[in-house]
Structure 1
């Protein structure tokens, strides 16, 4: 059997489970999983003792291009993706200009096509009803909206990307539903947040600790009320929805009940929740850890939801900001740009969590690859199966290493995981059968990525 590439000797993680099988690749596709004894031609890559995984499909990535390329751009995002075993990225619309029209969407598509190393798509903001049908027809996989207005800053949630009125949300769901696209929603009850934040700021509490406590106030009431509303509107409109930033017990229970009623809802956990949301992170890293603080009881509930299947996906929410944009947060946290970089290290950290028994390896693969591909309309991706794109990661599960700022491929040059030891290492990444990362070096070329 002639093939272009044979990945030999590894343990292949497939939808049917872990298999001791070699993975065969021709013309960018997986063409077989075969016994070791079957002879083939082509290049052979030795994966003995290693895991062979589907590439991660990351549907929540902030590339910062256009408008904020001092933080990041599409090319540097894709460098980190390749190094982190991420073979498909979906960009977010909080750009300058924000992606709200066909004109801005076409511009962003052209930028990906020119510089992205891995495969890609983009989630425009669904804030202009007249643009929705046109953008859906252009080959996007999902829309995005933020139910939040930044307090004390204009970024990372710029004007044009937000929607808070319940009537507007229902109208937009009614508009999106016939397109069949999924509607990604950053849940947030802005009225409650104004009240809660106002109390902290009136007392002069503008520290990372105050910010962390405000967003988790009253067991996460700003998240729970918003998610309850979104779930009910999704049920009423029959619009497929996807919830970002799962982080409270009540929200997970609400999603569990909605799924039982037949609501088409998926949800995600971002890198900061399992690995960067403890109080010691807030105390030690301050603005560099925020994103959000998740109290211990809520974090336990999220792990339970990841393990029992209530939470469908892991997505990085890769959100790079410069040191200058973070440093102000030590004394003026509401003026700091929130969010943390994560795409380069999320998959290895998840594999490390599996090695520690926090989650099964099969669940990691489902959440990182199989389910995002399924739920966002990518039947050609997300699994090691014949006929799928050969988006493949070879990982060594027993190769301890330490994450450091020196290894960061982002423009910002830092990671909140500096000093973190990880047991699993990404050795090689392939996108449609082409190597884009190998043994510590990105080898893919700009423009190799295609629209997924």
Structure 2
């Protein structure tokens, strides 16, 4: 087979390939591996990457695909913050539409949040209902988070044993009545419980008391809505999470960080050894409060999109390693719930639908900042996979699932909500010109054709 590439450990980058062909071979000048973007041939068998060799070694397989000169083969994105909403609110989104949108955006694995489905994923019975809904409709691989709410501590271990990747809680009203929030003492109690089986607590970190004392968001002025969700509410809640994680030894994950004020205390906690990870989202990294028109409720999300100076500090937090990952927080709703007709930020549902657009959004901004595609994929694929414990995903590496996207980094397109796979055609990105386009997506070595779902349901410890 010619000169075989060596891994960092000095072992050949092939697995039992001698004398056998592959199901699929992908060749190209630009394949994003652990060695950077290099010329390679990838051999795939039974949905796994079993060979990575220098271009020119002429691996053979039942199917051969050669990248064009304009394409980069990238690892499929891992989006660990997606609200699919099925069953119960499938008119908001569903597993078919969500996973098609994911695949179209180069996302090959999603982990579904425990709300806003009915019932929420707060016990094993609810998890099984959600799995039954997802199983025949998944175009990408789908895992599940469990929920931590008042009174369900006894269900946490059972959910963990059933394969959820961790538990999400809120520190203020979640927006839906069936998923009540935890007081900080209740969160600490649940953290103590999940330490016993090494799970993780994901926290929507905004302080309920600070929000209660903030100005009312009613009306069509965005600055009024922004004042109703002050940075201080986020900062106080992040501090609570840090200290409760410190006291209990639990793994904690801050969801959708929007306040750059919290970065110094996060950095300090990590330096102290607190088991803390942090994500942010494309809307906080690409949109600006100063540019949001009055009444434009497509931009409403909680915590809110903040000012330009805040955005720049979030980018710095990513580059400094204080923020670990970028995920979508895809939180769709029906058009009427967005109160488009009146544009009232106090009434409209708070959530941005961006599952299909995340890579292009971040790549557009990253290019302007001279940030490499490899760095972007670290934030959007490798690191989310690592945080969730998806050991066979997030990188083009031997033994990993053959999850790929063929990406045209120099392509561009105009966002048209009517052409997205999202169920409801509303987006703050409507009409924006974005750089980079996903041309093809493969999940476990099979190309997504948007007709036949081949995605798997995945469990903690098995993916």
The verdict on a shared fold, with TM-score over 0.5 as the criterion, is yes
Of 143, 147, 155, which aligns to 2:167?
143
2:135 aligns to what SS in structure 1?
helix
Is residue 2:457 matched to residue 1:450? yes
Contact 1:392 1:431 in 2 (8 A): yes
Residues 178/125 of structure 1: CA separation in 2 closer, same or farther (3 Å cut)? same
Q: 1:286 and 2:306 equivalent? A: no
Taking the aligned partners of 1:431 and 1:310, their CA distance within structure 2 comes to 30
Q: Tell me by how many angstroms 1:60 deviates.
A: 0.4
Alpha-carbon distance in structure 2 between the residues aligned to 1:277 and 1:115: 36
Deviation of 1:160 after TM superposition, in Å, equals 2.8
Matched residue, 1:109: 131
RMSD across aligned positions (CA) = 1.8
Secondary structure, aligned partner of 2:257: coil
66, 69, 75: which one pairs with 1:46? 66
Q: How many angstroms does 1:396 deviate by?
A: 0.6
SS at match of 2:293: helix
Paired with 1:325 and 1:12, the residues of 2 have a C-alpha distance of 43
**Cα distance between partner residues in 1 of 2:404 and 2:155:** 35
For residue 194 of structure 1, report the CA deviation from its aligned partner. 0.3
Question: Is 354-363 or 16-25 further displaced after alignment?
Answer: 354-363
Give the TM-score of the pair, scaled to structure 2. 0.89
- Determine if contact 1:146/1:185 at 8 Å carries over to the other structure: yes
Structure 2 residue aligned with 1:184 = 202
Q: Which has the higher helix share?
A: 1
Report what 2:280 is aligned to: 269
Equivalences for residues 420-431 of structure 1 within 5 A = 420-431=432-443
Cα distance change of structure 1 residues 431 and 210 upon mapping to structure 2, 3 Å threshold:
same
Partner of 2:359: 347
Q: Which 4+ runs in 1 deviate beyond 6 A?
A: none
Quick check: 1:148–1:162 contact (8 Å CA) kept in 2? Answer: yes
The answer to whether the 8 A contact 1:307-1:360 is kept is no
CA contact (8 A) 1:125 1:161 kept: no
Structure 1: segments with no counterpart, 5+ residues: none
CA contact (8 A) 1:90 1:123 kept: yes
Equivalent residue of 2:55, what SS? coil
Q: Deviations over 1:406-434 (max 9, x none)?
A: 21111112322111112210011111001
Q: Distance in 2 between matches of 1:45 and 1:331?
A: 48
Match of 1:130 among 142, 154, 176: 154
User: Offset of 1:161 from its aligned partner?
Assistant: 4.1
The CA distance in 2 between the partners of 1:358 and 1:180, in whole Å, is 38
TM-score normalised per structure 1: 0.92
Structure 2 gap segments, 5+ residues each: 1-19
| CA distances 1:357-401 after superposition (whole Å, capped 9, x unpaired) | 353322211111111111211111111001000011110111121
1-structure distance, mates of 2:88, 2:240: 32
